[in-house]
């Protein structure tokens, strides 16, 4: 016969396993692990850093607009980055930036940061703010279908 004691022990066993799995996932996703990030996590981090919610529409304007220099983000990534872009200087193909069309995108904070830094310097003449990065990423995440 199953006593309350047995049942509690069983229950404890059952609840301990998922907790262990969760702990494993957290430790595997620690700093320095490639592909531990997701676009949603990066977006939340940028928005928190900016101190305000991201605005996808503002992100689209930022991405497709000029910022007093020769290039826009869209010059290389295309105005609809659900498709491949083409480097404005070298002509090299650039895989889609929208994460729904390229699962590698925004899965590594260091990589995203490196390219934001380089590309914002080219397009805006300075690094992008956390708010600008949050807006652009929020817009990219909304792109789910090819127009």
CB 138 within 8 A of CB 56: yes
Q: Considering just the CA atoms, what is the radius of gyration of the chain in Å?
A: 21
Cα–Cα dist 46/68, whole Å: 24
CB of 50 to ligand HEC, least distance (A): 15
Q: CB nearer to ligand HEC: give 118 or 146.
A: 118
Residue 93's φ and ψ, nearest 5 degrees, are: -70, 145
Q: How far is the CB of 26 from ligand HEC (least distance, A)?
A: 22
User: Which residue's beta carbon is nearest to the bound ligand HEC?
Assistant: 73
Half-sphere exposure of 146 (CA within 13 A, CB side): 5
> Which residue, chain included where needed, has tokens 């996703």?
29
Minimal distance, residue 8 CB to ligand HEC, in Å: 47
Residue 18 vs 31, nearer CB to ligand HEC? 31
Which lies closer to ligand HEC via its Cβ, residue 6 or residue 114?
114
- Shortest distance, position 133 Cβ to ligand HEC, whole Å: 7
Query: Cα–Cα distance between 49 and 26 in angstroms, integer?
Result: 22
Nearest to 73 by CA among 12, 130, 13, 139: 139
Binding site for ligand HEC (CB under 6 A): 71, 73, 75-77, 87-89, 94-95, 105-106, 111-112, 115-116, 119-120, 122-124, 136
Closest to ligand HEC by CB, 83 vs 119, is 119
């Amino acid at each position: 016969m199953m006593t309350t004691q047995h049942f509690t022990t069983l229950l404890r066993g059952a609840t301990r396993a998922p907790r262990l799995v969760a702990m494993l996932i957290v430790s595997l996703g620690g700093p320095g692990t490639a592909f531990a990030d997701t676009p949603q996590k990066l977006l939340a981090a940028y928005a928190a850093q900016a101190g305000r919610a991201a605005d996808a529409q503002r992100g689209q304007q930022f991405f497709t607009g000029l910022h007093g220099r020769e290039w826009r983000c869209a010059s290389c990534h295309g105005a609809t980055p659900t498709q491949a872009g083409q480097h404005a200087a070298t002509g090299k193909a650039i895989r889609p930036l929208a994460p729904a069309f390229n699962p590698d995108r925004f899965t590594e904070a260091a990589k995203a940061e490196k390219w934001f830094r380089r590309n914002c310097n080219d397009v805006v003449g300075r690094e992008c703010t956390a708010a600008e990065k949050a807006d652009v990423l929020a817009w990219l995440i909304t792109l789910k279908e090819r127009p």
